[in-house]
Amino acid sequence: MLGIVGTIPEANFPLFSGRVSLEGNDILIGNERINVNRGTPAMIAAAIETLKYMDKPEPYCYLVGDIGDGEGSMHLYRHLIDNIADTSFHSLAFHYFQPIVSLFKKVTAAIEEMPNRPILIADAGFMYVAKMGGDAPFFDLFTPDAGELAYLADENAPHPFYTRGFILHEENLVLDLIKRAYQHNNASSYLLVKGAKDYVADKNGVISVIDDPIVETLEPIGGTGDTLTGIVSALIASGIEIKTASANAALVNRLAGFYAEPTPATQINEIIKQIPRALHEVFGN
Amino acid sequence: MFKLFTKKKPEHNSENQGRGILVFENTTEVIRAENALKARGWEIRVMGPPPNIRSGCDLVIEFPLIEELSIRRSLTEVNIEPIQIVPVNSVLLEPVSLLHEKDYGKYLMVRAANMKITVERDTKLIVNVSGGGCPDVPYLAGQMVNKHLHNAPQPRDVGYTLCAYALQIAYDRMVEIC
């Protein structure tokens, strides 16, 4: 089973744990209906579409409202600290969250007490805090974009906002940044780097490069990284090996973007609608 | 008014004096304090905190320590209270300063650090906000997308985190060039 931890961009959305389903442009969380725009709702929607295609159950989600003040995240950190050790997941994907190092470390300590350690995936705030806390190797997969990879590669930066210019520079090669991130123990076991080309890598270097189709207009669209994290998390939870799931997820995400015929003004739900078609293209034969 | 002008003296630039940092509850408070202090002529810098007081996603304001009392007074005048004022001897982190612009013809994208904003040139409509990982990013996107560049809520007013701060830098650049 896939577990997902993240935030809903509404101030008063209560802490929720349970199954989440997808209906049209909304995800259904208990009695609440949340529009799939970007962030964790987009990640969940992409995961649900993928799990459905793979004939797997809907994800079990831990969610809370947070608009950036961190109050909701703190509630959810504490809920995870108190409860996660007694759960059983094949894979756990962590997403948008307020980075708070002290609470994060208590969550990882609780995960270590789980009877069977799940495959751990992190993106967004949870990836940031894992690196901030020096715990990147605790995770099995990160899904950074090129800017976030530069952050992982900069051993001194506590947040992408502080990535040093000589590392962030456009001409820096992704391959060098991957190497540097592993050299300083600031990378997960595998990396899925999203961008003009998508890279799957581990400590030994690049395993695969996915660069087709090329859709330049995807970069401005909020949520395309979220859908990639949702797809790869669902494929891993379906039993596919991490590096294979990562390469396939990158291809599915690119194809879904391609089929949506996007402009820089396209919204992410138009791309999510194309995920089943893209999955069929990759796995149908 | 006279008092205000008399504060704008070069002695605020004190390279050789001890430096202090103002620590606030969240990034929104930092932005408010930065705006208030700069408006009053103080030469301060928004920086990354040293590791010993870093809790996660935070910023501090660096100032000449000798000016502490006056700085405190300036902040009190606008009802902003730092949670901590400490001297600093270690190196503070420089925020990212690189801005990247990408031309999509009808649309223009500006990226600052990990945050991107895209505007339709003719209408000046914000059509997308992307990047980032802090929980106010999806919220800010929801508040800003489909709004006119000059009428949209600004990250400095409704955001809380470093991602919001980066988005504000991208927004300011977009206003400059669009």
Where do the domains of chain B lie? 2-88, 99-177
Q: Is the per-residue pLDDT at A71 higher than 60?
A: yes
Nearest by CB to A159, which of B104, B129, B162? B162
The residues with which A191 forms a beta bridge, in sequence order, are A142, A201
pLDDT of residue B14: 37
pLDDT of residue A225: 96
What mean pLDDT do residues A153-165 have?
Answer: 84
Q: Are B136 and B159 in contact (CB under 8 A)?
A: yes
Check A124 against B165: CB less than 8 A apart. no
* A229 touching chain B per CB within 8 A: no
Task: Determine the Cα–Cα distance for residues A129 and B177; give it in Å rounded to an integer.
Answer: 34
> What element of type H or E holds A6?
strand A2-8
CA end-to-end span of chain B? 34
CA distance B12 to chain A (A): 25
Q: What is the pLDDT of residues A229-242, one digit of tens each?
A: 999 999 999 999 99
Tokens representing B164 are: 């919001």
* A196 touching chain B per CB within 8 A: no
Q: 3.20.20.70, 3.30.70.240, 3.40.50.150, 3.40.50.720: which CATH number matches B2-88?
A: 3.30.70.240
User: pTM for this structure?
Assistant: 0.87
Q: Print the domain residue range for A184.
A: 2-283
Check A39 against B161: CB less than 8 A apart. no
Domain count, chain A: 1
Q: What is the pLDDT of residues A108-144, one digit of tens each?
A: 999 999 999 999 999 999 999 999 889 999 999 999 9
pLDDT of residue B11: 39
What mean pLDDT do residues A34-43 have?
Answer: 94
Check A161 against B164: CB less than 8 A apart. no
Check A40 against B26: CB less than 8 A apart. no
Q: What is the pLDDT of residues A201-228, one digit of tens each?
A: 999 999 999 999 999 999 999 999 999 9
pLDDT of residue B89: 64
How many helices and strands (H and E) does chain A possess? 11, 11
Q: What is the pLDDT of residues B104-134, one digit of tens each?
A: 999 999 998 889 999 999 999 999 999 999 9
CATH number at residue A12: 3.40.1190.20
Extract the residue ranges of chain B whose pLDDT is less than 70: 1-17, 54-57, 89-90
- Interface confidence (ipTM) of the complex: 0.93
